[in-house]
């Protein structure tokens, strides 16, 4: 059974993220995957403050939550990032979490699920650059899910078009599964 890590992307109260994460986890479980959620709100990590980059030989972080998150990434067969679009890019707390992990990203299958007024294509662009096109070298799926407010989901995270949501998220998950 594939072990899939789902990484949250918002620390706002009553965030839409929690609802989308719930949908993603249910779909993964329906598809037979074992799921683990990395809740960035609970797993608070400092802004990246290590003297060397995460791919450096000298990279030896000691922060407990950084080490926990790193272990979660290392132990997962694949990772799903659930992210809102903030100011035309990905959520900064999620990006900070990605930055804290180095070699464990290499070859890791990653699926992108995002939401915003016109989906989250610009957030996904940043995630793809960071994970696939930098030295981290993760394998980011082509089928990125873009959930649009007032079409696919409402601004409170409730589902408006169930078949579109299932299809979009399903395509992203199937690729990494
Ligand atoms: C700082 C900030 C910037 C935002 N920028 C965008 C944006 O560029 N595009 C968009 O579609 N929505 C944008 N929004 C709206 C968010 O997509 C919306 O508030 C969403 O609910 C945020 O996700 P969350 O509830 O999980 O935090 C922005 C929201 C915030 C708080």
Q: Can you give the pLDDT at residue 103?
A: 98
Q: Which domain holds residue 106?
A: 3-176
Q: Could you write out the three-class secondary structure of 9-46?
A: CCCCCCCHHHHHHHHHHHHHHHCCCEEEEECCCCCCCC
Pocket test of ligand 1: the residue of 13, 113, 116, 149 to mutate, having most ligand atoms within 8 Å of its CB, is: 116
Mean pLDDT of 144-171: 98
Q: What is the pLDDT of residue 121?
A: 98
Residue with tokens 């000691």: 62
Question: How high is the pLDDT of residue 159?
Answer: 98
* Other CB atoms within 10 A of residue 124 CB: 23
Per-residue model confidence as pLDDT tens digits over 4-63: 999 999 999 999 999 999 999 999 999 999 999 999 999 999 999 999 999 999 999 999
CA–centroid distance, 85 to ligand 1, in Å, is: 5
Q: What is the pLDDT of residues 106-134, one digit of tens each?
A: 999 999 999 999 999 999 999 999 999 99
CATH code assigned at 40: 3.40.50.360
Q: How far apart are CA 48 and CA 44, in angstroms?
A: 12
Q: Mean of the pLDDT values across residues 163-169? A: 98
> pTM, whole model, 2 decimals?
0.98
* Closest residue by CA, ligand 1 atom 22: 84
Pocket perturbation via mutation, ligand 1, pick of 10, 85, 121 by most ligand atoms within 8 A of CB: 85
Q: Which pLDDT score, from 0 to 100, does residue 118 have?
A: 94
Question: Within its chain, how far is the Cα of 7 from the centroid?
Answer: 4
State the pLDDT confidence band at 144, using cuts at 50, 70 and 90.
very high
The protein residue with its alpha carbon nearest to ligand 1, atom 23, reads 84
List, chain by chain if needed, residues with CB within 6 Å of any ligand 1 atom: 10, 12, 15-17, 84-88, 116-117
Calpha distance 52→91 (Å, rounded): 23
Determine the pLDDT at residue 40: 97
CA dist 47 and 62 (Å) reads 14
Q: What single DSSP character describes residue 66?
A: H
Q: How many residues make up the chain in this entry?
A: 177
Domain count, the chain: 1
Question: Do residues 127 and 97 touch, judged by C-beta distance below 8 A?
Answer: no
- How far is it, in rounded angstroms, from Cα 129 to Cα 140? 10
Name the residue of 13, 18, 86 whose CB sits within 8 Å of the most ligand 1 atoms, as the mutation to test its pocket: 86
Q: For 72-112, how does the pLDDT look when each residue is reduced to its tens digit (9 = 90+)?
A: 999 999 999 999 999 999 999 999 999 999 999 999 999 99
């Amino acid at each position: 059974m594939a072990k899939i890590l789902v990484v949250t992307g918002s620390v706002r109260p009553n965030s839409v993220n929690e609802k989308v994460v719930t949908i993603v986890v249910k779909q993964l479980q329906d598809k037979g995957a074992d799921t683990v959620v990395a809740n960035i709100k609970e797993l608070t990590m400092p802004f990246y403050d290590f003297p060397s980059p995460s791919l450096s030989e000298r990279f030896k972080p000691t922060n407990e939550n950084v080490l926990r998150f790193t272990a979660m990434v290392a132990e997962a067969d694949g990772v799903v990032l659930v992210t809102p679009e903030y100011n035309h890019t990905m959520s900064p707390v999620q990006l900070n979490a990605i930055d804290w992990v180095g070699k464990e990203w290499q070859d890791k299958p990653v699926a992108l699920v995002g939401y915003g007024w016109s989906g989250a294509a610009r957030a996904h662009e940043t995630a793809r650059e960071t994970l696939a096109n930098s030295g981290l070298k993760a394998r980011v799926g082509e089928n990125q899910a873009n959930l649009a407010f007032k079409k696919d989901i409402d601004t409170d995270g409730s589902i408006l078009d169930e078949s579109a949501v299932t299809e979009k998220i399903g395509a992203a998950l199937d690729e990494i599964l």
